Amino acid sequence: MYFCTDFKDTVICSKMQRKTLVRLLSVLLFIGSFSAVAQDEHTEEAKEVLPGSKTKKEEIKEFINHHLMDSHDFNLFGSTDEETGETHHYGFPLPVIIWDEGLHTFMSSKFHHGENVVESSGNYYKLYHSKIYRTDAEGTINYDEKHHPTNVRPLDLSITKSVVMMLVTGLLLIWLFRSLAKSYAKNGSIPRGIGRFFEPIVLYIRDDIAIANIGENKYKKYMPFLLTVFFFIWFLNMFGLTPLGVNVTGNIAVTTALAILVFLITTFTGTKDYWKHIFDPLGDGMPWAGKILIYIILVPIEILGMFIKPFALLIRLYANMTAGHVVLMSLIGLIFIFKSWIGGPLSFGLSFAISLIELLVALLQAYIFTMLAALYFGFASETHAEHEAHEGEIQHL
Amino acid sequence: MEKLVNDFSFGLFFWQIIIFVLLLILLRKYAWKPILNAVNDREEGIKNALDSAEKAKLEMQNLQADNEKLLQEARSEREVMLKEAREIKAKMIADAKEEAKGEADKMVAQAQAAIESEKKSAIAELKQQVASLSLEIAEKVVKHELSDKDKQLKLVDEMLGDAKLN
């Protein structure tokens, strides 16, 4: 647009200018909305290590690792005093509950973010890399040759940041869907407000996930689980993308719990035909002598499959969410490594694009988890007659 | 793998199970059941409404068919009635014609009979008059003829001659 020399060019240029202006404005808007996030990350990064002791790269790596882990207090952001090197944290403490030959409870503020040793009814505890270890009065932590602490880890049932987020999500879900349920009663079967957005999703889960995979007759019994798990995962994934920086669904314990529930439901609602499919997959189509040879291999595989299915669920969700967070935070971290006019916007643009993809992934992972859970429930609840009808569909996912 | 196991926080697992199961129970009772029931009811309602609309349509069609049938019947009835009327009319005209003809014939016959009788009586009268006239003439002739004796004899001869011819 700087080459507008004659009249004809000027017309085109003015059009181009307008377009560029719109683009520029939208980019600025994005920067405006996200710079707050970036600043939080930056300040949190700084508090993680003593200034000057580590390179920026290590700092960022450590910060990402720290972010991926659960935390004992709800930190919103922190700042480091440039002169004294002191770190200030802004947030609120959460209760710590430890079972270590007796119940110990205190607020996480006593740890002072890992700086202090806490004494609770005769035992000493110290926070090290977001985990609580039993120590002596000085807070000494012994390491093995791989630099892993060898101190005893007591049974930690603290209300951590992730637990708080789960509670918040749970309450949000109850509030949202309770109001949707009420709006039906009030408006004569027509949803109102936010329910209008969620009702099609509920219907989609019913029609295209539950009924499609489980079948018209038996889907009803699984609906509450499928709906709850879908919205729970989706909402937690979305919370993970907010500047609060909670990574609940990227936590192996959370996905394990969900997968175990899927496994239990599959196992306990399994019909005779489901078990027959595991222990006698070939049925009556073969003489027993021939079957024995094949079953030596086939039956263990089928039994393994019972466990592999939910295991794949838990790893898929965990890995996807963790990977998303790592990529996103690394790209944000690049901004502070480059610190230049080219690298900064470039990594910002990249991280913005990845954020958009992550929004999709948040929904997609919730969908996939629900979909596969429904598929497994479908296998479990299948009876012989339906089984015949489904022959030819994907059987061994 | 070692990192995964190391990262596994039993506390989080414990809370997750408790919170999730609790959430499941609460949502099932207070949200999913009412929502799914309401949606089902609504769908049922829509289905019923569609069904009844279909039924109404069918009924309407039946009614229309009935109407059509009634109209058809009325039309054919009218046709029949018109035909009958036409027939009656024709019959009446024919009858009238017949009657008129009969009457006319009768009148003609009467007239003929009257003419016949008149003719007969006229002829009879004529015969009488002719007879009396001929008698008068004969009387006169005889009177005239008998005045002369010869002539009387001649006449008797002539008559006798005629009688032979008979």
State the complex-level ipTM.
0.75
Judged by a CB distance cut-off of 8 A, whether residue A323 touches chain B is no
> Is residue A250 within 8 Å of A64, Cβ to Cβ?
no
Cβ-based contacts of A202 with chain B (< 8 Å): 35-36, 39
pLDDT of residue A337: 79
Q: Which residue of B has its CA nearest to A179?
A: B31
- How many of the other CB atoms lie within 10 Å of CB of A289? 7
> Is residue A313 within 8 Å of A369, Cβ to Cβ?
yes
pLDDT of residue A23: 57
Gap between the Cα atoms of A120 and A175, Å rounded: 38
Cβ-based contacts of A69 with chain B (< 8 Å): 7
Closest to A273 measured CA to CA, from A390, A364, A360: A390
Gap between the Cα atoms of A229 and A370, Å rounded: 7
CB contact under 8 A, B8 and A260: no
pLDDT of B45-70, one tens digit each? 999 999 999 999 999 999 999 999 99
Judged by a CB distance cut-off of 8 A, whether residue A160 touches chain B is yes
> Is residue A162 within 8 Å of A254, Cβ to Cβ?
yes
Residue B42 distance to chain A (closest CA, Å)? 6
CB contact under 8 A, A170 and B22: yes
pLDDT of residue A3: 40
pLDDT in tens, chain A (397 residues): 334 444 444 444 444 455 554 554 454 444 444 443 444 444 444 444 444 456 777 777 877 777 777 777 777 776 666 666 666 777 777 888 887 777 777 877 777 766 777 777 777 777 777 777 777 777 677 777 777 777 777 788 888 888 888 999 999 999 999 888 888 888 777 787 788 888 899 999 999 999 988 888 888 889 999 999 999 999 999 988 887 767 888 888 889 999 999 999 999 988 888 888 888 777 777 777 777 888 888 888 888 988 999 999 989 999 998 888 888 888 888 888 777 788 788 888 888 898 899 999 999 999 999 999 999 999 888 776 555 555 544 444 4
> Is residue A243 within 8 Å of A40, Cβ to Cβ?
yes
Under 8 Å CB-to-CB from B64, ≥6 apart: which residues? none
pLDDT of residue A158: 82
Question: How many degrees, rounded to 5, is the angle at CA A113 between CA A107 and CA A115?
Answer: 110
Gap between the Cα atoms of A264 and A209, Å rounded: 19
CB contact under 8 A, B9 and A251: yes
The set of long-range contacts for B121-128, using a CB threshold of 8 Å and a minimum separation of 24, is none
The residue whose two tokens read 């699984």 is: A222
Q: Which of residues 130-149 of A touch B (CB under 8 A)?
A: 148
pLDDT of residue A390: 53
pLDDT of residue A54: 60
Question: How many degrees, rounded to 5, is the angle at CA A194 between CA A192 and CA A197?
Answer: 100
Q: Which of residues 41-100 of A touch B (CB under 8 A)?
A: 69-70, 97
Give every strand in the sheet of A95-99, ordered side by side. A103-107, A95-99, A155-156
pTM here is 0.70
Q: Which of residues 332-391 of A touch B (CB under 8 A)?
A: none
Under 8 Å CB-to-CB from A161, ≥6 apart: which residues? A70, A71, A72, A73, A74, A75, A94, A246
Cβ-based contacts of B39 with chain A (< 8 Å): 184, 189, 199, 202-203, 206
